Amino acid sequence: MRTLFACLTLILLAPASLAQNFDTAASHAVILDFETGEVLFSKNGDEAMPPASMSKLMTTLMAFEALDNGTISLDTELPVSVYAWQTGGTTSGSSTMFLEPNTRVRVDDLLRGIIVQSGNDACIVLAEGLEGSEGAFADAMTARARELGLTSSTFANSTGWPDPEQRMSAIDLAHLAAIIIRDHPDYYAIYDEREYTYNGIRQFNRNPLLGVFDGADGLKTGHTEESGYGLVASAERDGVRRIIVFNGMGSERERANEAERMMRAAFSDFDVYPLFEAGATVGDAEVFMGESETVALRIDDDAVVGLHRRDRRDMTVSIIYDGPVSAPIAEGDPIGRLVVETESGVAREFPLAAAESVARKGMFGRAMDALVGLLRG
CATH superfamily of 23-268: DD-peptidase/beta-lactamase superfamily (3.40.710.10)
Tell me whether residue 326 is exposed, middle or buried, using C-beta atoms within 10 angstroms of its C-beta: 0 to 12, 13 to 18, 19 or more: middle
When pLDDT is cut at 50, 70 and 90, the band that residue 373 belongs to is low
Domain ranges of the chain: 2-14+274-376, 23-268
User: Which candidate, 108, 112, 130, 122, places its Cα nearest to that of 159?
Assistant: 122
User: Which candidate, 133, 156, 129, places its Cα nearest to that of 58?
Assistant: 156
Dist. CA 248–CA 365, nearest whole Å: 66
pTM summary value = 0.87
CB contact set of 295 (below 8 Å; sequence gap of 6+): 284, 285, 287, 325, 329, 335, 354, 355, 356, 358
280 contacts 302 by C-beta, under 8 angstroms: no
Could you tell me whether strands 2-8 and 316-323 are parallel, antiparallel, or unpaired per DSSP bridges? antiparallel
Dist. CA 100–CA 90, nearest whole Å: 9
Residues with catalytic roles: 53, 56, 118
pLDDT in tens, 334-349: 999 999 886 666 578 8
pLDDT in tens, 194-248: 999 999 999 999 999 999 999 999 999 999 999 999 999 999 999 999 999 999 9
pLDDT for the residue numbered 367 = 53
pLDDT for the residue numbered 92 = 87
CATH superfamily of 2-14+274-376: D-Ala-D-Ala carboxypeptidase, C-terminal domain (2.60.410.10)
pLDDT in tens, 249-290: 999 999 999 999 999 999 999 988 888 999 999 999 999 989
Where on the phi/psi map is residue 355: left (φ > 0), alpha (ψ -120 to 50), or beta? alpha
Dist. CA 51–CA 168, nearest whole Å: 6
**290: how many CB neighbours lie within 10 A of its CB?**
22
Dist. CA 170–CA 51, nearest whole Å: 8
The reply to whether domains 2-14+274-376 and 23-268 share a CATH topology is no
pLDDT in tens, 124-180: 999 999 999 999 999 999 999 999 999 999 999 999 999 999 999 999 999 999 999
pLDDT for the residue numbered 218 = 95
pLDDT in tens, 281-325: 999 999 998 999 999 999 999 998 887 887 666 778 899 999 799
pLDDT in tens, 242-252: 999 999 999 99
**What would the 3-class secondary structure string for the chain be?**
CEEEEEEECCCCCCEHHHCCCCCCCCCEEEEEECCCCCEEEEECCCCCECCHHHHHHHHHHHHHHHHHCCCCCCCCEEECCHHHHHHHCCCCCCCCCCCCCCCEEEHHHHHHHHHCCCCHHHHHHHHHHHHCCHHHHHHHHHHHHHHCCCCCCECCCCCCCCCCCCEECHHHHHHHHHHHHHHCHHHHHHHHCCEEEECCEEEECCCCCCCCCCCEEEEEEEEECCCEEEEEEEEEECCEEEEEEEEEECCHHHHHHHHHHHHHHHHHCEEEEEEECCCCEEEEEEEECECCCEEEEECCCCEEEEEECCCCCCCEEEEEEEECEECCECCCCEEEEEEEEECCEEEEEEEEEECCCECECCHHHHHHHHHHHHHHC
CA atoms within 13 A on the CB side of 337: 10
pLDDT in tens, 69-99: 999 999 999 999 999 999 998 888 899 999 9
